[in-house]
Each structure stands twice: as structure tokens, then as C-alpha cells.
Amino acid sequence: MSIVILNGPNLNMLGIREPEIYGTESLDDIKNWLVDESGIDFQWFQSNSEGDLIDQIQTSQLEKTDIVINPGAFTHYSYGLHDALSSHKAAGLVSIECHLSNPAARESFRQNSVISPAVTGTIAGFGKNVYLLALQEIKSRRGN
């Protein structure tokens, strides 16, 4: 089983940016916790660039790798990510959108996801546990 976890814009600022919403742990803290907690091997990638994330999704499709993606602000307007994830899903691969906070309970502009229709499912609002829940779901679907 091969999984890549993709993290979008501004997630490299976790622990500094709006800790009242996102918490005080850095993205590296979350990754290290997830390695220890999940027992699942995964690749980890973060970029503030939409194109870099699309490249990773396309590579994942070619390599038949499932995806967990926290698209950050790209959630609300990136049709490029949507299209790449749609192709990934059409190839029979699992992709799970996740968000540390609950976008549905936040500002109105955050309440619409153009990513959700293109992925297998969405997990939101449970802090760093969204990553763990997504990995467990992929593991369950793959029978591992």
C-alpha cells in the first residue's frame, strides 16, 4: 500500500498562523505524531504552489498511489486540483480531502469546496486526527 499526504498553501505556517483555529503544533510536529500513531508508511509533501501539488497528484496516479490531501485555501477555487483529483479517482485510486478545522463552520467563502466532488471522501474538523482517520480509511479500503 502506497499513500502520499499532500499539504497545500500556508500549512507550513502551522503553529504560528492562527493557533486559535489550527493549534500550536507545526506541520512537522503533526507529521512526526502521525508516523508514531499510525504505523502506516506514507510520503509527506507540502507546497504553496498549486502546480507542485498537481504534479504530485499526477505522479501519484501514474504510480498508483492513494492520496490524502489538505488543499488549504485551494479548496475553494482550484479547478486545476479538482481536475487532477478527478482523473486520479477515475483511475480507481482513493483520495481523501481533509481539513484541520471545520470549513462549514467558518466564513462563508470557506464553506464551498471545489475539491469535494473530485475525491472519495472528506474528513474535517478534528484537528490533526483528520490525517490519522484518512490513513485508517485508506488502509481499510485496501484490506490492510
The strand ranges marked E within 56-140 are 66-70, 95-99, 121-124
46, containing H or E segment: strand 43-46
Residue 2 backbone phi and psi in degrees, to 5: -125, 130
Query: What gap in Å lies between CA 135 and CA 39, rounded to an integer?
Result: 10
Q: Is the dihedral of CA 102, 106, 112, 114 positive or negative?
A: negative
**Would you please indicate which residues are annotated as catalytic (active-site) residues?**
22, 99
